[in-house]
Amino acid sequence: MSDNLAKVSRHLSFLRARERWKPAEIVFWLALVGVYFAFPTSLVFASQILITGLFALSLDMILGYAGIVTLGHAAFFGIGAYAAGLMAAHGWHEPLSGLLVAGLVAGIAGYLSSFLLSRGGDLTRLMITLGIGLLLFEVANSATKYTGGVDGLQGVEIGKLFGVFGFDLYGKTAYVYVLIIAFLLFAFTRSMMHSPYGLALRSIRENQTRALAIGIPISACLTNIYTIAAAIAGIAGALLTQTTQFVGIDVLSFQRSADLLIMLIIGGTATLYGGFVGAAVFLLAQDRLSNLNPQYWQFFLGILLIVMTLYLRSGMLGGLSRLADLFRHWRNKERS
C-alpha cells in the first residue's frame, strides 16, 4: 500500500515538476530585464522583438495548442493596432486603457470570426482565415479617411504612463512597458495552458474525434481560445502603435501573418517560448540579411522552410529539447 502511495506521489511530482517555473525560464526573463541595461541603444528594436514574440505567443495558443492552422492572424493584430491608434488620434491618450480597448475589440472580432471556422476541413478553414485577413486589409486600404490607407494613421499621440513616465525617443519607457505587459500576458497564458483547460485544448489538437467522445465541447473550446488569442494579438498590435506612435497598413498584411507563422515554426510550437525565440531569431536575421540584399533574405527563408519541414520538425526549442534528452540519455548510460 505504501508502495502505491509512493508511486502516486511520483506521478504527481512528475507533473508538478513540469508545471513549475524552470530555472531556464527565470533566466530568460531576467535576461530580458538585463537587455535594458546591456543594449540601451537598441531598445526600440528589442521592443519590436518582444511585441512580435507576444504576437507569436497568441498564434501558438491556436496553432500549437488547439491545432488550428491560420494564415490570417494579423487581422487581430491590425484591429488592435488601429483601435489603439484611432483612440489616440481622436483625443484619448491614456495608454493602458487604450490597450484594454484594443484587446476588447480584437477579442470580439476573434469571437465573431471563430464561428466561421467551425465548418469544413483544414483547407477550407485556412482559406477562410486567409480571406478574412485579406478582406480586412482591403477595407483598411480603402477606408483612407479613417485609417490613412497606405500612408498610415498619423497623429497618434500617447500620453504618459500613470501620468509620470513619458515615452522617450530612445524607447526606454516603451521597453519597460512592453516587457511588463508581455510578461503579465505570458504568465496568464502559461497558467491557462497548464490547467485542465489547457489539457483539454491539447487533446483537441491530438484527436478531435476522441476529444468529442470524452465529452469536450469542441466548438465552444475553440471559440474560447480563438477569442483569447485574438485579444492578445490585439494588445500586441496596440503596443506597437503606442510605442511607435504610428499605424502602418502592413499591420494587417498577409506578409505579417506568414512571417509570424514562420517565426513560430522556427521557435517551435506548444512550448510557450517558441514564439519569443522564433521572433528574435527571425527579426535579427532579417535585420542582417535583408539589409545586404532583400532577395537573399527571401531565398534564405525559402531554403530554411524547406529544410525545416523535411528535417527539423519541432523547431529550435524542439531540437534543443531533443538534444537535452540525448544528453540525459548519454549521462544515464555513463552512470550504469
Partner 1 sequence: MHSFLGILFDGLAYGALLFVISVGLSITLGLMGFNNLAHGVFAMAGGYLLVTLMSKAGIGFLPALPIVFCVVALGSLVLERTLYRPLYKSTPLNQVLLTVGIIFIATAGANYIWGSGQQPVVIPGWLSGQYAVLGLDLSRYRLFLMAIVAVITFALVFGLERTRFGAKIRASVDNQRTAEAMGIRVERVFQLTFALGSGLAGLGGALGVDVLGLDPNFAIKYLVYFLLVVVVGGPGSVFGTLLAALLLGVADIAGKYYVPQLGAFIIYAAMIILLLLFPHGLLGRRKAK
Partner 2 sequence: MTAILQTRDLWKAFGGLIVTKNVNLSLAPGARHALIGPNGAGKTTLINQLTGVLSPSSGSVWLDGVDITRIPPNERVYRGLSRTFQINTLFPRLTPLEAVTNAICVRERTRLNILKRRFFRVSRCSTLIDEAYALLEQLNLAQDCLVETHTLAYGKQRLLEMALALAAKPKVLLLDEPAAGVPEGESDELFEVLNTLPKEISILLIEHDMNLVFNFANRITVLVNGEELVTGTPTEIADDPRVREVYLGKDH
Site residues (CB under 8 A) for partner 1? Answer: 63, 69, 71, 116, 119-124, 126-128, 130-132, 134-135, 138-139, 141-142, 258, 261-262, 265, 295-296, 298-299, 301-306, 308-310, 313
331 binds, among partner 1, partner 2, none (CB under 5 to 8 A by kind): none
46 binds, among partner 2, partner 1, none (CB under 5 to 8 A by kind): none
Q: Which is nearer to partner 2, 213 or 310 (CB)?
A: 213
Nearest to 66 by CA among 214, 213, 187, 206: 206
Cα separation, 315 vs 317, in Å, equals 6
Buried b (16+ CB within 10 A) or exposed e, 5-19: eeeeeeeeeeeeeee
161 three-class SS: strand
Give the residues lining the site for partner 2 (CB under 8 A): 4, 7-8, 11-12, 14-16, 19, 191-192, 194-200, 202-203, 206-207, 209-218
Nearest to 248 by CA among 69, 13, 48: 48
Q: Which is nearer to partner 1, 122 or 287 (CB)?
A: 122
Residue in the structure block whose three cell numbers are 465541447? 217
325 binds, among partner 2, partner 1, none (CB under 5 to 8 A by kind): none
Q: Which is nearer to partner 1, 35 or 134 (CB)?
A: 134
Q: Which is nearer to partner 2, 237 or 318 (CB)?
A: 318
Shortest Å distance, C-beta 122 to partner 1: 5
158: left (phi over 0), alpha (psi -120 to 50) or beta: beta
Q: Which is nearer to partner 1, 57 or 301 (CB)?
A: 301
Residue in the structure block whose three cell numbers are 483612407? 144
Q: Which is nearer to partner 2, 89 or 200 (CB)?
A: 200
Q: Which is nearer to partner 1, 216 or 308 (CB)?
A: 308
Residue in the structure block whose three cell numbers are 477606408? 143
**What is the secondary structure of 16-39 as a DSSP string?**
HHHHSPPHHHHHHHHHHHHHHHH-
* Cβ atoms 21, 273 nearer than 8 A: no
* Cβ atoms 228, 68 nearer than 8 A: no
335 binds, among partner 1, partner 2, none (CB under 5 to 8 A by kind): none
Write the CB contacts of 226 (distance below 8 Å, at least 6 apart in sequence): 62, 66, 68, 110, 111, 113, 114, 117
218 binds, among partner 1, partner 2, none (CB under 5 to 8 A by kind): partner 2
